[in-house]
Amino acid sequence: MARKNDYNINSLLKSLNVLEDLIEHGEISIIELSSNLGLGKSTVHRILGTFKTMGYVDQNKDNNKYYPTLKIFELGTKVANRIPLKKIIRPYLEEIYRKSHETVNFAILDKDEVVFIDKIVTAEPLRIELEIGKRVPVYCCALGKAILAFSGDVDITKLNFEKITDNTVNSPEKLMEQIKAVKQNGYAIEYEEYIEGLICIAVPIKNQFNQSVAAISIATPTIRMNDERKKQFIKLLQEIVYKIGIIKE
């Protein structure tokens, strides 16, 4: 908590303490926040309601607990060039691009969606790209599957499977089969599941607990992919992730 001084606005201090505790726990109830901070439940409820209106907080409908949204991250990125992790990863994206000459992506997971945080787009005239900030369902992209394989943050059985292309996985059982393969191989491949004509290969970036915190990928039009290039890209991505090492949280 912040130290007291003559310029403190007590209501603001309480609100930010609630937000900090919420971020610390990831998901928490009003009663738990009230107990942790020594604030009345009605006060905590009003604070959370305000943050929810502003889009910084949302509520889990299954257990009524509150959790921080990606908007908090988006606010921080304006101050710190997205996040320190982006600064760490950027040179590695540049190395991948120099060696592959294809579009390179860096993404994180937010609830059941992958959010594109950084990218380098190929100079080839034939290219398909997704803008930074773009959200993609976790089940139909290689980045999402690479993260899912080493994360327990998403209940696959509760995903809303929408058939986006003819190749899109459309059931928890099929997705689990793919996730199992990712765990065994250490990488994920998506064959035109989100965009027709696009193939993507992704590998997870992990923390000290062997949990995925993000993923990086190489995306290329199907016409430029063959078995030899696929092997090269997989090897390159795995070498880069080895260089990145463990991300400490």
For residue range 149-208, what is the model confidence (pLDDT) as tens digits? 999 888 999 999 999 999 999 999 999 999 999 999 999 999 999 999 999 999 999 988
Q: What's the CATH number for 10-68? A: 1.10.10.10
4: tokens are 């007291």
Neighbours of 178 (CB within 10 A): 19
Sign for the CA dihedral angle at 150, 145, 206, 151 comes to negative
pLDDT grade for 23, boundaries at 50, 70 and 90: confident
Q: What is the pTM of this model?
A: 0.68
What whole-number distance in Å separates Cα of residue 33 and Cα of residue 187? 39
119: tokens are 């990218």
What CATH class is the domain 82-244? Answer: alpha beta
Q: What residues does CATH 1.10.10.10 cover in the chain?
A: 10-68
Nearest to 18 by CA among 33, 4, 8, 3: 33
The DSSP symbol for 153 reads S
Q: Which residue has the tokens 């945080």?
A: 117
CB contact set of 5 (below 8 Å; sequence gap of 6+): none
Residue 186 CA, chain-centre distance (Å), reads 18
Q: What residues does CATH 3.30.450.40 cover in the chain?
A: 82-244
pLDDT grade for 123, boundaries at 50, 70 and 90: very high
